[in-house]
Amino acid sequence: MEDAVKKISTGASGLDTLLGGGIEPRMITQFFGEAGSGKSTLCMTAAVSVLRKGLGVVYIDSEGFSIERFSQIAGASTEECAKHLYVFEPATFAEQGLMISESEQLIKSGTAGLIVLDSATALYRVEQMDTKDALSMLSRQMMVLLGIAKRYDIPVLITNQVFMDIDHHRLSGLGGTALSHISKAIIRVEKHEGFRRAVVSKHRSRPEGMSWEFVLTGTGVRDR
């Protein structure tokens, strides 16, 4: 049954292979990792890949959308790609939720191929809200995103920040079960000296621990 699902290319063949063919519509795929690991570049590479097909991309960027990086990755097709790119830059966690909801109007009125939320948890961490309230808001936002993905048969790509899990002596994604349960595919992005490694943390058909090594470049990413 899985082979019948039309997956969307991330623009990086190694990452597509890691994900079993690309990112899957009607579900949330999560990249988590420390700052500078390459999560945003992977998201932007996927966005450009979708835009080059003439499909729209809703890009919600809570850390400030980099026009310069977008231009580097899109290259000669920057101007054409920009026509179908809808950027939202929330300043608060509540505003992030509002923009997620408002994005449905854009998706409903056009041909969208992808929603990106980079990062799902940055504002939640900055505002230092009560943990219970923050997790409740985050869960609601993710449910709205998932609902949009299912209604319009498109994939959602989110990034997540990390914290040190003292009990297990490892970096774990923020958001607890709110993000881990609702994300059907989770990729841990690790920063190493001179390269990056993407590791399957959760996937319905790919083995946990499977990995892909890559290098960040001026125009996006390449296999190591």
Q: In tens digits, what is the pLDDT along the chain, a chain of 224 residues?
A: 445 678 999 999 999 999 999 999 999 999 999 999 999 999 999 999 999 999 999 999 998 999 999 999 999 999 999 999 999 999 999 999 999 999 999 999 888 999 999 999 888 766 656 667 888 889 999 999 999 999 999 999 999 987 666 665 666 667 667 788 999 999 999 999 999 999 999 999 999 999 999 999 999 999 99
Q: What share of the chain is helix, strand, coil (3-state, %, to 5)?
A: 40, 30, 30
Domain boundaries defined on the chain = 2-223
Architecture of the CATH domain 2-223:
3-Layer(aba) Sandwich (3.40)
State the Cα–Cα distance between residues 51 and 77, nearest whole angstrom: 9
Q: How far apart are the first and last CA of the chain?
A: 32
Helices (H) and strands (E) in the chain, counts: 8, 11
Radius of gyration of the chain (CA): 16
State the Cα–Cα distance between residues 57 and 82, nearest whole angstrom: 9
Structure tokens, 34: 């420390």
Per residue, the 3-state secondary structure of 118-139, as one string, reads ECCCHHHHHCCCCHHHHHHHHH
Contact of 152 with 108, CB cutoff 8 Å: yes
pTM as predicted? 0.92
State the Cα–Cα distance between residues 180 and 52, nearest whole angstrom: 30
* DSSP three-state, residue 17: helix
Structure tokens, 143: 């449910």
**pLDDT for position 166:** 60
**pLDDT for position 81:** 97
Residues in the chain: 224
**pLDDT for position 196:** 98
State the Cα–Cα distance between residues 212 and 206, nearest whole angstrom: 12
